[in-house]
A and B are shown apart, each in its own frame.
Chain A
Amino acid sequence: MSSISDPPSGSFQLSMLINDTRYRSYTFQFVALLLLIMAFAYLGYNLISNLQAAGLNISYQFLGEPAGYDINQTLIPYTSQSTHWQASLVGVLNTLLVALLGCLMATIIGVVVGVLRLSNNWLVRQLMSVYVEIFRNVPVLIWILIIMAIFVAVLPQPRDFRGDDPEATMVLGAFAFTGRGFYSPAPIFGPLSGIVIAVFLASIAGIFALRSYAKKALFDRGQVIKTFWPSVAIFFLPTIIVYFVLGRPITLEYPALTGFNFQGGIFMRNSLISLWFALSIYTAAFIAENVRAGILAVSKGQTEAAASLGLRPGRIMNLVVLPQALRVIVPPLISQYLNLTKNSSLAIAVGYMDLTGTLGGITLNQTGRAIEAIFLLMLFYLAISLAISAIMNVYNNSVRLKER
């Protein structure tokens, strides 16, 4: 900060490197750089001599070798004969899966709770602040383990569904909530199902087209076209008609009890669900606070000004309050997403096989390649967080107040 410079007094002297503010910063930087290089050299020398003493080297060969362990929840084909690289890939996808699910659910819960915290209902307000305080102030690891304990201690085992008078029954005949995880029907896509999906996508495009046409009509001719019910009709009708005309190409496969376990359908393991739910409710408490702060940040004058222009409450929310509140809400929201993604590495506590569980867990223990495995692990998380920061910067620039 100090930009005071003494008048130059004759030729350069060595003492000026310390006493003259013009040159002092070079001295400091030189010393800092020197110390840094020395520290790295020291650590690197230790690393090399330690590795030599242990007869090890740095090599990523292990990624190509067969992993030799099973992963119980995979999104891509994987067997114990696959390589460590594929195991890591399974881990990456599992991390992204739980992060995506968690972000979705945390946003929904967080927005609802944040809005309800501003409700004029006293009881609801109090309940929501109790929720926020309890979940914010207790480590997420404890919540993960508590939800896992619910699976272990409370929910019925698949064998309880057996027999003529079972202790537990499936919900609606389609969903089974067991201690091992949740079973739900899985869609089976028949040969003609592509057409149904195409029609569904086309009808969504149609809704957007209708909306933009209505907007254009409003701006050009002042003609008001109602869009809500037509949109609903476009959303459902064509798809349903095509679905039945083509003879139901998409069917559901229901989970069925065979032997001691359920077969078929979609199976979500208890570890995934406990991680997902715990991360969601924990992060939602933080998101709720962000949402509340964002709504409170829009001054009351804005609402009143909009009302005095004759806007109705729904439009005030949509056109005036939300656009301004989102500017405040979105940046912390994205950093909460980032936190959630990083917290998903706690999967290892419940045995969910995310990247920390595969690459940083079993692969590390089997191959003993600690430095390489942890380096790759850090690189992955670093890449994700840098990508998310980049997205955030783009967003911040796009919503920045354009001041002249």
Chain B
Amino acid sequence: MSDTHAQSVAYVRDTMLPEQAPPVTEAGVIKWMRENLFKGWFNSILTIVSLYFIYQIVTGAFPWFANGIWSTSSLAECREVLDGATGACFSVLTERWNQLLFGFKYPSEGYWRPTLAFVFLIVALAPALYPAAPRKMLFFTGLYPFIAFWLIWGGTILIPLMVLIGVIAGYFAFKRFERQSFAMGMLAGLLAAVVVIWAGGLIPSLLPGFLALEAVPSRDLGGFMLNMILGTVCVSLSLPIGILLALGRQSSMPIIKWICVIFIEFIRGVPLITLLFVANVVLAYFFPPDANIDLVLRVIIMITMFASAYIAEVIRGGLAALPRGQYEAADSLGLDYAQSMRLIILPQALKISIPGIVNVAVGLFKDTTLVSVISMFDLVGMIRGPILASTEWNGVYWELWGFAVFVFFIVCFSISKYSQWLERQLATDHR
């Protein structure tokens, strides 16, 4: 280069300049701050306003947390200890801890039972939620509902045991007749289960004391335990019902389709609170006078119906998103309806629906707080009722509501993070 232009140009550099470090404003932290915090006057104002906001919150909340009192037995005592200084009376949480978790009627010597049921819940959920967990643990997951029922409600172990035997009998009957047709299998399984449970129902009344824990009536359940029970039971029941409703709505049989459409649209059109009113005051009219279904069961029925309608819509979205070729491929393999759904369609449709299902599950868990409106004492009901109304703790708002916010946030946030993780695990396309 330099040779060719040596005569025509006055000066040509013929050596490379050494590389220089970028200017201070274009490197490291300063560059990052310039680009992310102070890019233009509007951004700078936003940053300063945000910083001020954070500063206000931190300086306001820090002494409140740091001076927190954890060991007094009433608000007056706590204020005395604080002596005018800013500080939280967290002692309401320590003093009413058991009430917040288990309600105020659950027998205190039985607190270990729901706690153990909760620990088992984690063990039982692990194989369902975490694909890498050993598959043998699914056996425990199957047993869990019966163990949990026995632990929480107490009574003789024979009742859940008989139901379990009925379910197992139903399963074997289903396997026996499944070869003929799926519908026959379902029918046989259902019949076997009902017969065995009905026949086995006689035994617990003969031996009421066999391996019996102290029986706890449903109306004595309360606190966060009630939210957890309603949440887990209703989500797990509404999944299969929601799948059936979604399949029904996609069905080519007009009567079945319209039954499902009307059910789903009706449930989705009314607020959950009206359904809870139904459970509270109306549902009893629709059952025989001697049926005497207790309130928790009625609420579970209504919330399950509510959740299954929403889950059905989510799964319908997943079914509709599957390419038509999948259905046709299943047909061309000669699979019948039940086989093609179980082996081809549903696995893919459910995978697509995971984010939606988790949204419904989180929403449902949050909605379990609504039972406090029909005077059940869940976490919110406990705070509003027995604790804030008591003479010792009248006026401790922020500690209690902060605790409720914290608990619900932890649970719901981790569920949604889990679903994002699961989505990444199951993503089989775009690799």
Is the beta-carbon distance between A145 and B380 smaller than 8 angstroms? yes
Q: Kindly provide the distance from the CB of B380 to the nearest chain A CB, expressed in whole angstroms.
A: 6
Determine the chain A residues whose CB is within 8 A of the CB of B413 once the complex forms.
133, 137
Determine the chain B residues whose CB is within 8 A of the CB of A139 once the complex forms.
366-367, 369, 380, 408
Is the beta-carbon distance between B289 and A378 smaller than 8 angstroms? no
Determine the chain B residues whose CB is within 8 A of the CB of A119 once the complex forms.
43, 46
Nearest chain-A residue to B50 (Cβ)?
A123
Whether, in the assembled complex, A308 has its beta carbon less than 8 Å from a beta carbon of chain B, the answer is no
Segment at the interface with B among A59-67, A86-94, A338-346: A338-346
Determine the chain A residues whose CB is within 8 A of the CB of B334 once the complex forms.
4
> Roughly how many angstroms separate A404 CA and B39 CA in the complex, as a whole number?
45
> Roughly how many angstroms separate A149 CA and B396 CA in the complex, as a whole number?
10
Is the beta-carbon distance between B252 and A25 smaller than 8 angstroms? yes
**Residues 42-91 of B contacting A (Cβ, < 8 Å):** 43, 46-47, 50-51, 53-54
**Residues 330-380 of B contacting A (Cβ, < 8 Å):** 330-331, 334-337, 340, 362, 366-367, 369-370, 372-373, 380
Is the beta-carbon distance between B401 and A149 smaller than 8 angstroms? yes
Whether, in the assembled complex, A29 has its beta carbon less than 8 Å from a beta carbon of chain B, the answer is yes
Given contacts A138-B366, A142-B380, A145-B384, contact A348 B273 (CB under 8 A): yes
Is the beta-carbon distance between A137 and B362 smaller than 8 angstroms? yes
Nearest chain-A residue to B268 (Cβ)?
A385
In this complex, how many residues of chain B approach chain A with their Cβ under 8 Å: the count is: 66
Is the beta-carbon distance between A145 and B401 smaller than 8 angstroms? yes
- Interface 1/0 per residue, B147-185 and A, CB below 8 Å: 000000000000000000000000000000000010100
Nearest chain-A residue to B327 (Cβ)?
A1
Determine the chain B residues whose CB is within 8 A of the CB of A11 once the complex forms.
none
Q: Chain B's interface: helix, strand, loop or mixed, by majority?
A: helix
**Residues 292-323 of A contacting B (Cβ, < 8 Å):** none
Whether, in the assembled complex, B259 has its beta carbon less than 8 Å from a beta carbon of chain A, the answer is yes
Determine the chain B residues whose CB is within 8 A of the CB of A252 once the complex forms.
none
- Most chain B beta-carbon contacts within 10 A, residue among A122, A136, A139: A139
Is the beta-carbon distance between B274 and A378 smaller than 8 angstroms? yes
**Residues 386-415 of B contacting A (Cβ, < 8 Å):** 395, 397-398, 401, 404-405, 408-409, 412-413
- Interface 1/0 per residue, B15-53 and A, CB below 8 Å: 000000000000000000001110100010011001101
Given contacts A33-B255, A121-B47, A123-B50, contact A3 B370 (CB under 8 A): no
Given contacts A124-B46, A137-B416, A378-B274, contact A153 B395 (CB under 8 A): yes
Is the beta-carbon distance between A374 and B401 smaller than 8 angstroms? no
Identify which of B255, B285, B380, B397 contacts A51 (C-beta below 8 A).
B285
Q: Kindly provide the distance from the CB of B178 to the nearest chain A CB, expressed in whole angstroms.
A: 15
Identify which of A138, A343, A360, A382 contacts B269 (C-beta below 8 A).
A382
Whether, in the assembled complex, B129 has its beta carbon less than 8 Å from a beta carbon of chain A, the answer is no
Given contacts A138-B408, A141-B370, A349-B373, contact A364 B281 (CB under 8 A): yes
Given contacts A3-B331, A25-B252, contact A32 B259 (CB under 8 A): yes
Is the beta-carbon distance between A342 and B271 smaller than 8 angstroms? yes
> Roughly how many angstroms separate A157 CA and B287 CA in the complex, as a whole number?
49
Nearest chain-A residue to B337 (Cβ)?
A2
Interface residues on A, range: 35 or more
Whether, in the assembled complex, A377 has its beta carbon less than 8 Å from a beta carbon of chain B, the answer is yes
Determine the chain B residues whose CB is within 8 A of the CB of A140 once the complex forms.
366
> Roughly how many angstroms separate A109 CA and B411 CA in the complex, as a whole number?
26
Is the beta-carbon distance between B327 and A138 smaller than 8 angstroms? no
Determine the chain A residues whose CB is within 8 A of the CB of B323 once the complex forms.
none
Nearest chain-B residue to A370 (Cβ)?
B281
Determine the chain A residues whose CB is within 8 A of the CB of B373 once the complex forms.
141, 346, 348-349
Segment at the interface with B among A42-50, A170-178, A180-188, A243-251: A42-50
Whether, in the assembled complex, B254 has its beta carbon less than 8 Å from a beta carbon of chain A, the answer is yes
Whether, in the assembled complex, B277 has its beta carbon less than 8 Å from a beta carbon of chain A, the answer is yes
- Interface 1/0 per residue, A250-285 and B, CB below 8 Å: 000000000000000000000000000000000000
Nearest chain-B residue to A383 (Cβ)?
B269
Whether, in the assembled complex, B301 has its beta carbon less than 8 Å from a beta carbon of chain A, the answer is no
Nearest chain-B residue to A125 (Cβ)?
B36
Is the beta-carbon distance between A29 and B408 smaller than 8 angstroms? no
Given contacts A371-B285, A378-B274, contact A124 B408 (CB under 8 A): no
Whether, in the assembled complex, A101 has its beta carbon less than 8 Å from a beta carbon of chain B, the answer is no
Is the beta-carbon distance between B50 and A378 smaller than 8 angstroms? no
Is the beta-carbon distance between A142 and B405 smaller than 8 angstroms? yes
Determine the chain A residues whose CB is within 8 A of the CB of B286 once the complex forms.
43, 46-47, 50
Determine the chain B residues whose CB is within 8 A of the CB of A78 once the complex forms.
none
Determine the chain B residues whose CB is within 8 A of the CB of A4 once the complex forms.
331, 334
Is the beta-carbon distance between A345 and B36 smaller than 8 angstroms? no
Nearest chain-B residue to A50 (Cβ)?
B285
Q: Kindly provide the distance from the CB of B35 to the nearest chain A CB, expressed in whole angstroms.
A: 7
Identify which of B39, B255, B272, B289 contacts A32 (C-beta below 8 A).
B255
> Roughly how many angstroms separate A323 CA and B398 CA in the complex, as a whole number?
44
Q: Kindly provide the distance from the CB of A344 to the nearest chain B CB, expressed in whole angstroms.
A: 8
Q: Kindly provide the distance from the CB of A388 to the nearest chain B CB, expressed in whole angstroms.
A: 9
- Most chain B beta-carbon contacts within 10 A, residue among A32, A53, A141: A141
Determine the chain A residues whose CB is within 8 A of the CB of B128 once the complex forms.
none
Q: Kindly provide the distance from the CB of B315 to the nearest chain A CB, expressed in whole angstroms.
A: 16
Is the beta-carbon distance between B269 and A137 smaller than 8 angstroms? no
Is the beta-carbon distance between A345 and B274 smaller than 8 angstroms? yes
Is the beta-carbon distance between B408 and A28 smaller than 8 angstroms? no
Determine the chain A residues whose CB is within 8 A of the CB of B408 once the complex forms.
137-139, 142
- Most chain B beta-carbon contacts within 10 A, residue among A1, A116, A134, A371: A1
Determine the chain A residues whose CB is within 8 A of the CB of B212 once the complex forms.
none
Determine the chain B residues whose CB is within 8 A of the CB of A390 once the complex forms.
none
Whether, in the assembled complex, B418 has its beta carbon less than 8 Å from a beta carbon of chain A, the answer is no
Whether, in the assembled complex, B1 has its beta carbon less than 8 Å from a beta carbon of chain A, the answer is no
Determine the chain A residues whose CB is within 8 A of the CB of B252 once the complex forms.
1, 25
Determine the chain B residues whose CB is within 8 A of the CB of A371 once the complex forms.
282, 285
Is the beta-carbon distance between B266 and A146 smaller than 8 angstroms? no
Is the beta-carbon distance between A137 and B409 smaller than 8 angstroms? yes
Identify which of A32, A138, A356, A374 contacts B282 (C-beta below 8 A).
A374
Q: Kindly provide the distance from the CB of A273 to the nearest chain B CB, expressed in whole angstroms.
A: 17
Whether, in the assembled complex, B288 has its beta carbon less than 8 Å from a beta carbon of chain A, the answer is yes
Whether, in the assembled complex, B10 has its beta carbon less than 8 Å from a beta carbon of chain A, the answer is no
Q: Kindly provide the distance from the CB of A50 to the nearest chain B CB, expressed in whole angstroms.
A: 5
> Roughly how many angstroms separate A382 CA and B264 CA in the complex, as a whole number?
12
Provide a sorted-by-A list of 5 A–B residue pairs whose CB atoms are within 8 angstroms.
Answer: A1-B330, A138-B409, A141-B380, A356-B273, A374-B277
Which 4 pairs of residues, A with B, have the shortest CB-CB distance?
Answer: A137-B412, A122-B36, A139-B366, A385-B269
B contacts, CB < 8 Å to A: 35-37, 39, 43, 46-47, 50-51, 53-54, 181, 183, 252-256, 259, 265-266, 268-274, 277-278, 281-282, 284-289, 327, 330-331, 334-337, 340, 362, 366-367, 369-370, 372-373, 380, 384, 395, 397-398, 401, 404-405, 408-409, 412-413, 416
A contacts, CB < 8 Å to B: 1-4, 18, 25, 28-29, 32-33, 36, 43, 46-47, 50-51, 53, 116, 119-124, 127, 133-134, 136-142, 145-146, 149, 152-153, 342-343, 345-346, 348-349, 356, 360, 364, 370-371, 374, 377-378, 381-382, 385-386
With A149-B398, A374-B282, A377-B277 given, name 18 new contacts (CB 8 A).
A1-B331, A28-B256, A29-B253, A29-B256, A36-B259, A123-B47, A137-B409, A137-B416, A138-B366, A142-B408, A149-B401, A152-B397, A342-B271, A348-B373, A370-B281, A370-B285, A374-B274, A378-B274
